[in-house]
Amino acid sequence: MNIPNSEQLFSRAQHSIPGGVNSPVRAFKSVGGTPLFIKKAKGAYLFDVDGNKYIDYINSWGPMILGHAFEPVVEAIQKKAADSTSFGAPTELEIEMAELIKSMVPNVDLVRMVSSGTEACMSAIRLARGYTGRNKIIKFEGCYHGHADSFLVKAGSGVATFNIQTVPGVTAGVAADTLTAPYNDIDAVQQLINQHKNQIAAIIIEPVAGNMGCILPQQNFLEDLRKICTEEDIVLIFDEVMTGFRLAQGGAQERLKIDADLVTYGKVIGAGMPVGAFGGKFEIMQHIAPLGNVYQAGTLSGNPIAMIAGFTLLNHLKNNPGIYTELDEKGAYLRKELFTVLDKANIPVTINQIGSMISVFFTHRAVNNFADASSSNITTFNKFFHAMLEQGIYLPPSGYESWFLSNALSYDDLNETINATAKAASSLL
Ligand SMILES: *Cc1c(COP(=O)(O)O)cnc(C)c1O
């Protein structure tokens, strides 16, 4: 791949943007090399500023579940923009969006729109604290809930990728209210609760983790969490920013048949526009201003362009449930075939997959928590990443990220990816 234009833009960007990027993982810092500057994308494919074409497994880190520039979404945005891009006053479209979300996620009574996943999680935690009158929260090592101060403790995503142990700027006081347990370790959670009786407002979790690579909850883990939270009056928050509207129309809650008290959304919900949401039981949600006193607001919350994009995508997903079956089949096929070619080449590998989320860990160990994910060979991952990129396959530039499939991927695209992996395998040993 020749990427002179990307190289030139990346070097120019250093002079005006910190590290040349507006979000850290984009910089390719851990895998090395120059990030691709993207010109456009359509369906399953990305095109960089040098005219190279790639099969996209990032899909904007999740939103593009039906592929890029999905025509109904593009048309709806264009049409809506002519009526102005924001009012800062209520619109009927916001009700339609909330009603659509409620129809897809039955245990959401009320839902508040925000502009990012970070905002959704940050607001959900404030609400849980306001509702319970307690201060502490429990999160899981390697889970990422956005970049609000209280979540940057043992966080996943870029924090894990860059191995940042403590984030400067997060005060010790804030950090002390965030307790952490290993993912899939219910005994550790029980111990924290015993040590901090009646002090824990919420447990927040990615019901399927995607920010330390894709890690599935083990048998009974979420069921036990649910039980403990009910017994201890702790608000159970499912961070479905990744899994929402991706693993099923009702997200991980539907797929894994467990109800959280509050749920947060982002990514798919905005179809690539800056959108997040949090919602849940009326009993808790009624404490949000202006119904209650837990303050939360946003100048651009419920923005009409963002709403029409998200509404159009979610409505399409709701009316075409077969999409989830197709994504499941594509995900399972990719996992099986990737495992076959890597195993045949004697590469130690574990592949975790559920629906359209998949991760390749270069380790023999089963990967059930952050320590397992960290045991995988990062040097091998980096070689794999570049060998794939050379062949036109665009993977997340970190071993601590899930890949996201879009339903625009054809079996030809998947087979091309599998063949590229077979070729890459020889350079990995
Ligand atoms: C991406 C992500 C977030 C943060 O969302 P932003 O829109 O980037 O602020 C929060 N939680 C999870 C699980 C995510 O994957």
- Specify whether 345 is located in the same domain as 375: yes
Tokens of 347: 């590469």
Q: Are residues 29 and 79 in the same domain?
A: no
- Vertex 42, ends 36 and 46: CA angle to 5°? 15
**Residues that are catalytic:** 144, 239, 267
Query: Which of 113, 240, 242 to probe ligand 1 with, by most ligand atoms within 8 A of CB?
Result: 242
B/e letters for 45-65, b = 16+ CB within 10 Å, e = fewer, are bbbbbbebebbbbbbbbbbbb
Say yes or no: 181 and 121 in one domain. Answer: yes
Residue nearest to atom 11 of ligand 1 (CA): 145
pLDDT score recorded for residue 332 = 98
Residues 46 and 137 in one domain: no
Which residue among 287, 319, 351 closes a domain?
Answer: 319
Provide the residue range defining the domain that includes 243. Answer: 71-319
CATH number of the domain where residue 106 is located: 3.40.640.10
Does the beta carbon of 251 sit less than 6 angstroms from any atom of ligand 1?
A: no
* Residue 163: predicted pLDDT: 77
Considering its fold, how many domains does the chain have in total? 2
CB 241 less than 6 A from any atom of ligand 1 = yes
Listed residues 319, 343, 370: the one ending a domain? 319
Same domain, yes or no: 163 and 254: yes
Q: How far apart are CA 394 and CA 246, in angstroms?
A: 20
Token readout for 269 is 């919900």
Note whether 260 and 208 are within 8 A (CB).
no
- Shortest-distance atom of ligand 1 to CA 146: 4
- Burial zone of 40 (CB within 10 Å; 0-12 exposed, 13-18 middle, 19+ buried): exposed
* One domain for residues 405 and 382: yes
CA of 278 to the centre of ligand 1 (A): 12
Are 300 and 229 members of one domain?
yes
How far does residue 22's CA lie from ligand 1's centre (Å)? Answer: 15
Q: With a 6 A CB cut-off, is 145 part of the ligand 1 pocket?
A: yes
Q: Would you write out the chain's pLDDT as a tens digit for each of its 429 residues?
A: 899 999 999 999 999 999 999 999 999 998 999 999 999 999 999 999 999 999 999 999 999 999 999 999 999 999 999 999 999 999 999 999 999 999 999 999 999 999 999 999 999 999 999 999 999 999 999 999 999 999 998 888 878 777 777 889 999 999 999 999 999 999 999 999 999 999 999 999 999 999 999 999 999 999 999 999 999 999 999 999 999 999 999 999 999 999 999 999 999 999 999 999 999 999 999 999 999 999 999 999 999 999 999 999 999 999 999 999 999 999 999 999 999 999 999 999 999 999 999 999 999 999 999 999 999 999 999 999 999 999 999 999 999 999 999 999 999 999 999 999 999 999 897
CA dist 243 and 240 (Å) reads 5
Q: Are residues 184 and 296 in the same domain?
A: yes
Q: How many CA atoms lie within 13 A of 378 on its CB side?
A: 18
d(CA 197, CA 191): 10
| pTM (predicted TM-score) | 0.97
Kindly give the number of the ligand 1 atom that is closest to the alpha carbon of 276.
7
Strand order in the sheet with 262-265: 110-114, 276-280, 262-265, 235-239, 200-205, 136-140, 178-181
